[in-house]
Amino acid sequence: MNGASSAVVVTDLVKRFGDFVAVDAISLEARKGEIFGFLGPNGAGKSTTIRMLCGLLRPTSGQAQVSGLDVATQPEQVRQNIGYMSQKFSLYNDLTVSENLNFFAGMYSVGRSDLTSRLDWAIDMAGLRGRENSFTGTLAAGWKQRLALGCAVLHRPQVLFLDEPTSGVDPLSRRKFWDMIHTMAAEGVTVFVTTHYMDEAEYCNRLVLIDRGKIVASGSPLELKQKYMAGDLLLVECDEIGTALELLQGAPGVDDAAIFGNALHLVVPKASAAIAAVTSYLSQHGITVQTIEPIRPSLEDVFVSLTTARTGAATEKPIP
Amino acid sequence: MNINRLLAMAGKEIIQIKRDARSIGIVIAMPLVMMLAFGYGVSFDTKHIPLYVYDMEGSRQSQDFLKRFQSSIYFRVVKSVTTYRELVQALDDGKCQMGIVVPADFSSRLSSGETVAIQALIDGTDSNSANLGMGYSQAIIQAYSQQVTTQWQQRQGHANVLPPISVDSRTWFNESLESMATIVPGVVALVMAVVGTFLTSLTIAREWERGTMEQLISTPVTPMEIMFGKLTPYMVVGLFDTCVCAAMGVWWFGVPFRGHVWVFFLSSILFLTVVLSMGYFFSVVAKTQLAASQISLIATFLPAFLLSGFIYPIDQMPAVIQVITHAVPARYYMAILRDVFLKGTPILLMWRDFAGLALFALLLAVVASRAFKKRLE
């Protein structure tokens, strides 16, 4: 693989916990300055992969290089070149904002000449000017998140690993957070981010979908939508949505059916032909259709169709 | 080792110690409370043994004899009874530990130069006190009978005949043979074993429990920097506590301090290295604060209490146990502290204890530093 423009190169990476295979021979490559999204349902192996890339877990087999450094044999050099934000907030709640920043500046050996400007930058970026002496534990989730990001990038890492960075954060804060991610990516930082928010996945340059430890799809958001949604997508609003789902799952001319909010999404070979067929099929079974119309697939549809195709459990909705 | 990271680590730890009310409690209250509890609670001196007397004669001479018991600090005459049954009852009820019975022919036999048998009844359930009580009472009776003999000889017109040999003993280092003087240096060692281990037993486990460890180990900080960064503040705290304990020993319990202060500090630093490393190790292994602190208490308190020579003299222990005591670091520290407080022995004469302590300090520091892995599994 070409190492010059690749920030993260993973080849056949495997992680086993006893008999359980958490990550099953994953290969991927993230280019420099790219926002690389890592999608999958809970327990799919996203966090395990990201922890191996940060040198926190030892791979069972396979290879992973971050900034050209091998995570298994050079974990300390890797750590100097990366920033990491774990899934759970993990700064010191009993330290103030500036004490946390100073501590992590020390951990990353941020030089004396650079220190003041970096701390100022982090405080401004996190919007915590005037709250430098607040205890971190008292901050709202959005601020905590931005402070954690600030702490993770004080040493200007080339690669940033974010494990579900915006879970539990309000939409406005999520937006701000992503603005910061984009700014850093524009400056050449590779951002490797796991998420299960589909709207966030749309922000990524490239996506990898992972399910049960295996990569099931990869590409840009647009590519994924075009490539993996064979057929058209129909939105159906009707009575007795649960019964309708069961009926349609085995119905002729319907490739897949899943509940999305208060409606059903159906994957059909051709929308125009299916609209009439589905409406009559449901009314035969005593279900009245209120709305049926073709829609453009979202990443969520792609995601559901890919993960359910593997599990065979169409009723299970992996995305909250 | 990177000095920036070390300082940042130590600085963070100091802030956390200062902010955590519980650790302040451990640092300040625990040594004080333990010093007082052990200083007063553990006493091997048997004084004021409760005594019942049964004077069957009731003469001036028999009363004079019993006054000897009254004026001794080792006995406390609780009651004078008039029947044998009362005396036995009192022993049964535990109202007294000892009973002295003076026979009805006490003065008449004495004046005729015959031997009188005094009966002493002792509650032997506490064999140590029983032994001591027996010894003290024998000493009193011996002295009295010496006096009677002398008086009798004088009456017979003999010159003042003294016994041919007498012992004139002088106790060194602990002149008044107060067990307090032996106990207090031991208590200092005991308190520091428990407090020292307890202090660090929380530090790593706390980071795991609060979830801060994952962020910490994703940075380039090395396990050595984490260990030294965390232990250095606790070394300062530990030395402060040692000084508090020693000061209490000297000014509160009145134990002398005859050795050099630097010997005291050197041995304390070595011992703190042992116990702080031990606590750190437990913290790494246990991963929860509760488990780590409990392991620390059990692993340090019992050996330091039973096998260090604190309660039982090591040379009185069975041979096998004596060998085992060599694996108890508190043993060496306690021996050094007793010397430092009571004797002021030159350090060269204590080289065995210092060598033992230094060996354990090195061993445990290495074990602790190797135990911590920067991995999540």
What token pair was written down for A115?
A: 């220190």
Which A residues 115-154 touch B at CB under 8 Å? 148, 151-152
Distance from CA of A107 to the nearest CA of B (A): 5
Residue at which a domain ends, from A199, A219, A239: A219
Residue A191 has what pLDDT? Answer: 95
Judged by CB atoms closer than 8 Å, whether chains meet at A91 and B215 is answered as yes
**A153 and A271 assigned to the same domain:** no
- By three-state DSSP, how is residue B121 classified? strand
The full set of domain ranges for chain B reads 3-43+178-371, 49-155
Per-chain mean pLDDT for chain B: 88
Among all residues of chain A, which has the CA nearest to that of B210? A90
Q: Are both A230 and A215 inside the same structural domain?
A: no
A170 and A68 within one domain: yes
B214 and A CB contact within 8 Å: yes
What pLDDT does residue B228 have? 95
Contacts of A107 in chain B (CB under 8 A): 5, 8-9, 216, 219-221
Q: Is the domain of A191 the same as that of A273?
A: no
In a domain, A276, yes or no: yes
Same domain flag for A131 and A275: no
Verify that A207 and A242 share a domain, yes or no.
no
Helices (H), chain B: 3-19, 21-24, 30-41, 60-71, 84-93, 106-111, 127-155, 179-201, 203-210, 212-217, 223-247, 261-286, 289-306, 319-325, 329-338, 351-371
Q: Which pLDDT belongs to residue B374?
A: 85
Alpha-carbon gap: A160 to the closest alpha carbon of chain B (Å): 12
Domain boundary among A163, A186, A219: A219
Domain identity same for A209 and A286: no
pLDDT the model gives residue B132: 84
pLDDT score at A315:
40
Per CATH, which fold does B49-155 belong to? abc type-2 transporter like fold (3.40.1710)
- The candidate with the shortest Cα–Cα distance to A241, out of A178, A290, A200, is A290
Q: A-chain residues within 8 Å CB-CB of B219? A: 79, 104, 107-108
A102 touches chain B (CB under 8 A): yes
Please give the residue range of the domain that contains residue A117: 6-219
pLDDT at A122: 94
Q: Which long-range contacts (CB under 8 A, 24 or more apart) does B366-370 make?
A: B367/B277, B367/B281, B368/B227, B368/B277, B368/B278, B368/B280, B368/B281, B368/B284, B369/B223, B369/B224, B369/B227
Chain A residues closer than 8 Å to B375 by CB? 56-58
- Comparing alpha-carbon positions, the chain B residue that sits nearest to A154 is B219
For residue B353, pLDDT over 80 is answered with: yes
Closest CA to B194 of B267, B282, B276, B281: B276
Q: What is the CATH number of the domain that holds A70?
A: 3.40.50.300
* Reported confidence tier of residue B133, pLDDT bands at 50, 70, 90: confident
Rounded to the nearest angstrom, the minimum Cα separation between A151 and chain B is 10
- So what's the pLDDT on residue B175? 66
**In this structure, what token pair is assigned to residue B327?**
């694996």
Whether B374 and A107 lie within 8 Å, measured CB to CB: no
Task: Using alpha carbons, list the distances in angstroms from residue B152 to B64, B110, B140, B145, B147.
Answer: 16, 9, 18, 10, 9
- Under an 8 A CB cutoff, do A109 and B5 touch? yes
Q: Is B24 on the interface with A (CB under 8 A)?
A: no
pLDDT under 70: residue ranges of chain A: 1-4, 308-320
Looking at the structure, tell me whether residues A207 and A95 fall in a common domain: yes
Residue-level pLDDT at A246 = 87
| Residue-level pLDDT at A311 | 52
pLDDT digits (tens, 9 = 90+) for B68-111: 998 888 899 989 999 999 999 999 988 888 999 999 998 888 88
Q: What mean pLDDT comes out for the span B183-188?
A: 88
Cβ-Cβ contacts under 8 Å between A and B: the total is: 85
Cross-chain Cβ contact B8/A107 below 8 Å: yes
Which amino acid is located at A188 in the chain? G
Q: Are A156 and A17 within one domain?
A: yes
Element holding A283 (H helix, E strand): helix A271-284
Residue A307 and residue A210 share a domain: no
Within this chain, do residues A210 and A121 fall inside the same structural domain, yes or no? yes
- ipTM surpassing 0.90, yes or no? no
Query: Looking at per-residue confidence, does B368 or A258 come out higher?
Result: B368
Give the closest of A57, A82, A95 to B375, CB-based.
Answer: A57
Kindly state whether residue A161 falls inside one of the protein's structural domains. Answer: yes
